[in-house]
Structure 1
Amino acid sequence: MDEKEVQSFLIIFSVIALLLAVTLILLFILFQKRKNRLLREQREAENRFKEEIIETQIEIKEDTLRNVSWELHDNIGQLLTLSKIQMQNAKDNPEAIDEAIETLGQSLDELRSLSKNINPDTLTNLTLVEALQLEIERFNRLRYLATSMECTASYFAIDHKIEIIIFRMLQEFFTNTIKHSKATKLEVKVRYSGKTLEIDACDNGVGFDANKISTFSGIGLSNMMNRAKLINADVRIESEPGKGTKLFFIYKT
């Protein structure tokens, strides 16, 4: 190999080495950009989740206070009014005193039940099933509608923050049932098998056209869809005018 060939070889080798170096540098820069983007998206997702948890907790507290107001007016207030009337009638009917005492006792029981909902730590210390059971008991106690719940397990291996979001989604469905559906029955079924949580809820109300997005937005069901996406859950709403509304929820841990 003469000197000219050696020089040519060195030049080609240098060019190839330079191209490889540039390629590696570009790949490293692209890798870093992708890594930084993924980290940024992860932080944004974590921040959105934290914000959603805070917003959900605020909504639960607001809904709880609203329910407390209804219960004080529609239930306990009426019981106390009835007790007052019974005491007034006791002048002519001594047996009314016993009835008044019984009514007052019922009022105290209702206040004790109500205090569970007022306590800000109640939901924090309860499992999802226990929190749902409190809601079911409240509906039956206030005679809003006949409500039942079936459950295969009282404990799930689910992050409590996820449980809060799930509870709020169901609470919103319940609220829509009471406010808009004119239903007389509400049934809830909770199943947990393996690592899958399934919840079905259905009412026998007037229903609505589930294909209309404006309807979803109008009664807040779009919030449920957005929250389902946030926790990677599947939620489906089925409803037809005159045939009630059904919710199907699936979450895999």
Structure 2
Amino acid sequence: MLYTLRPLDILLYMQSETTKIAILIAVATLIFLLMPIFLMMYIRSYNRHKKNHILEKENMRREFESEMLQTRIEVQEKTMQTIATELHDNVGQLLSLTTLTLNSVNLNNSEKAAQKIENSLSLVNKSIKELRELAKLLHGEQIVETGIGNAIQQEINWLEKTGTFELSVSNQLFDLKETSPDKDLIILRLLQEIINNIIKHANATIISLNFYHDNHILHLSVKENGVGFNYERIKAKKSGMGLNSISKRIEMINGKLILNSAPNNGTNILIEIPYP
């Protein structure tokens, strides 16, 4: 059965198609006009995120440099304190004893006089040796440059000289070929802070220290038999014994702190640091 299209139908059909084409053209035009706007918005958003990322990296760099400066200052202060203490308690006593010995020399008794002069010379030589050791400390960062193993051993030697603690030491970092000067300085300061906390707060008699490098991780272990403390409580209060400073510095070099302690049960500290 054939249908004959009337002129009116043809006109309506053509108007409908024209309308569709007009709508398509309008949509295409709108998309064409909006695309540059969306592109500009995307570019602005990308540039804003990029700028924020650059600012964040710059802030992190400044924070790291600020922390490194603070660490250097603290290492120098600790060095000066050690030198002052040694000059007063050790070199000062040696020189005072030398003075007393020389003042007691009786030249009429040549045999005793010779013995006292010999003893005085021995005391002077000991003083010179101690002063030479102290002179090395004046170059704190140079100690680190000789290797983290040597820097750590220097701290252990001074701790040993106090005669206050029974020490058990395993330092396997002397032959470490890889170095990281910034990390070394922070590691040295961490050890100084830990030892200082033990001396001030722990009332310990035995300290066990273990340092080694394995699979690109530097391990520092310090264990003592002191009074201990409630770590979780102090951590929650965000105060006490320099633990915040220790945690912050470990976090800054992407390290990990494991601390186990309980009242009357001593403290065990394990630090793991990616190295170099």
TM-score, normalised with respect to structure 2: 0.82
Partners of 1:133 and 1:149 within 8 A in 2: no
Q: Which residue of 1 aligns with 2:133?
A: 113
Task: Say which one has the larger Rg.
Answer: 2
Instruction: Please give the alpha-carbon distance, in whole angstroms, between the structure 1 residues aligned to 2:177 and 2:254.
Output: 17
Equivalent position amino acid for 2:165 in 1: L
The equivalences for 1:227-242 within 5 A come to 227-242=249-264
Instruction: Identify which range, 71-80 or 20-29, moves more after superposition.
Output: 20-29
The whole-number CA distance in structure 1 between the counterparts of 2:24 and 2:177 is 69
Does structure 1 residue 251 correspond to structure 2 residue 266? no
Shift of 1:166: 1.6
Q: Indicate the RMSD between aligned Cα atoms, in angstroms.
A: 2.4
- Structure 1 position 183 matched with structure 2 position 198: no
Q: Counterpart of 2:8?
A: none
2:177 counterpart of 1:162: no
- Kindly state the Cα deviation for residue 59 of structure 1 after the two structures are TM-superposed: 0.8
The answer on whether the counterparts of 1:190 and 1:197 sit within 8 Å (CA) in structure 2 is yes
Q: Which residue of 2 aligns with 1:138?
A: 158
- Residues 1:144 and 1:111: Cα distance change in structure 2 (over 3 Å): farther
Residues 96, 243 of structure 1: CA spacing in aligned structure 2 closer, same or farther, 3 A cutoff?
Answer: farther
Aligned residue for 2:265, secondary structure, equals: coil
Question: After TM superposition, where is structure 1 displaced by more than 6 Å over at least 4 residues in a row?
Answer: none
SS for the counterpart of 1:211 is helix
1:199 aligned partner = 220
- Deviation track 1:94-145 (CA, whole Å, cap 9, x = no partner) reads 5444333323222221111111112355335332211111111112223243
Q: 2: distance between equivalents of 1:103 and 1:171?
A: 30
The residue identity in structure 2 corresponding to 1:38 is H
Conservation of the 8 A alpha-carbon contact between 1:75 and 1:142? no
SS of equivalent to 1:176: helix
Contiguous gaps of at least 5 residues in structure 2 = 1-13
Compared with structure 1, are the counterparts of its residues 78 and 203 closer, same or farther at alpha carbon in structure 2 (3 Å cutoff)?
farther
Residue in 2 that maps onto 1:150: 170
Correspondence 1:1-253 to 2 at 5 A:
2-91=17-106, 93-94=112-113, 95-119=115-139, 121-123=141-143, 125-154=145-174, 155=176, 157-213=178-234, 217-253=239-275
- Structure 1 SS opposite 2:231: coil
Q: Which letter does structure 1 place at the counterpart of 2:73?
A: I
Distance in 1, matches of 2:263 and 2:179, equals 35
If the length of structure 1 is used for normalisation, what is the TM-score?
Answer: 0.88
Tell me the number of residue pairs that the alignment of Structure 1 and Structure 2 aligns. Answer: 253
What fraction of aligned residue pairs are identical, expressed as a percent?
A: 26
> Structure 1's 196 and 246: CA in aligned 2 closer, same or farther, altered over 3 A?
same
Could you tell which deviates more after superposition, 18-27 or 218-227? 18-27
Long gaps (5+) in structure 1: none
Deviation at 1:78, TM superposition (A): 1.9
Deviations 1:193-228 (A, max 9, x none): 121111111222222222232786232121001111
Task: Give the secondary-structure state (helix, strand or coil) at the position aligned to 1:217.
Answer: coil
In 1, Cα distance between equivalents of 2:216 and 2:262: 32
Tell me the distance in 2 between the aligned counterparts of 1:228 and 1:206: 24
Indicate conservation of the 8 Å contact 1:156/1:192, yes or no.
Answer: no
Which secondary structure state, in structure 2, belongs to the residue aligned with residue 212 of structure 1?
helix
Q: Which one-letter code corresponds to 1:239 in the other structure?
A: S
